Amino acid sequence: MMRLQPLQRCACQALRRNLRQTPTAYSTRIASRATANLGSTPRLLHTTTPQRKRDDRQSQPKPATIQDLDMFGNTPPPSTSVDVCMHDGFGLNSGVTISDGNGALLVNGEAFSWRPWELAADKKLGNAKGQFVLPEESLSTLDLLWPRPDLLIIGTGKNIMPLSPDTRRAITKMGFRVDILDTRNAAAQFNLLATERGVSDVAAALVPLGWKDGQWTD
């Protein structure tokens, strides 16, 4: 086997070292050029949302609620609106209390005590057919109004009763439209419409919750 001289061995070793170092040196030059093209600070890719975007979402207005859409939410109720329906009377928003077994007649922003059963022959407001009957004399106050409200809401007591044809005919003759409900719902309906349309356009005639068939009930 041919032996290399010491000078030849040094040359071969240097050549092998250069071959091993060439890829590393080449890679270093490529990385240096890429860094120079991108700037002194390399960019990093990330998937998190910038803080500014999150702040923008938080500052967006909240969706409107049903309460925000209520156009009458800030409108004060009329003084004759009914705050409470009692067994023998009513409490009004003005602080006035109608008690002692009186009903309430609410017209044009005024409140009157109303006892229609006193004008009935047997002190009953229901007939044999289970219909609600009002003596015509009990409606005489409404007949004096001018201009008259467009709608009359009648509360028949604890339970709703259909209006008798004669009573409906008498009310219609005076120029009223009529809506008949039990007293609680009649009071709520009056409060809503009086606030929305005004007390001059809606009237109410309410029988106390405890009155039925000529007597007071529990």
pLDDT at 188: 95
Four-residue CA torsion sign, 182, 183, 185, 191:
positive
Domain ranges of the chain: 1-37, 77-216
CB atoms within 10 A of CB 206: 27
Q: How far apart are CA 16 and CA 165, in angstroms?
A: 121
pLDDT at 66: 44
Indicate the class that CATH gives domain 77-216: alpha beta
Tokens, residue 163: 């209006």
Q: Is-cis flag, bond preceding 147, omega within 30? A: yes
Q: How far apart are CA 97 and CA 88, in angstroms?
A: 11
- Report the Cα–Cα distance between both ends of the chain, in Å, rounded: 130
DSSP string, 56-107: HHHHSPPPPPHHHH-TTTTSPPPTTSEEEEETTEEEETTS-EE-TT-EEEEE
How does DSSP classify residue 200? Answer: T
Are 84 and 90 a contacting pair, CB within 8 Å?
A: yes
Is the pTM above the cut of 0.85? no
Contacts of 71 (CB under 8 A, 6+ apart): none
Q: How far apart are CA 164 and CA 130, in angstroms?
A: 9
Per-residue pLDDT of the chain (218 residues; tens, 9 = 90+): 455 455 455 555 555 555 455 555 555 555 555 455 545 555 555 555 555 555 555 555 555 444 454 454 556 678 889 999 999 999 999 899 999 999 999 999 999 999 999 998 888 898 989 999 999 899 888 888 888 899 999 999 999 999 999 999 999 999 999 999 999 999 999 999 999 988 899 999 999 999 877 777 76
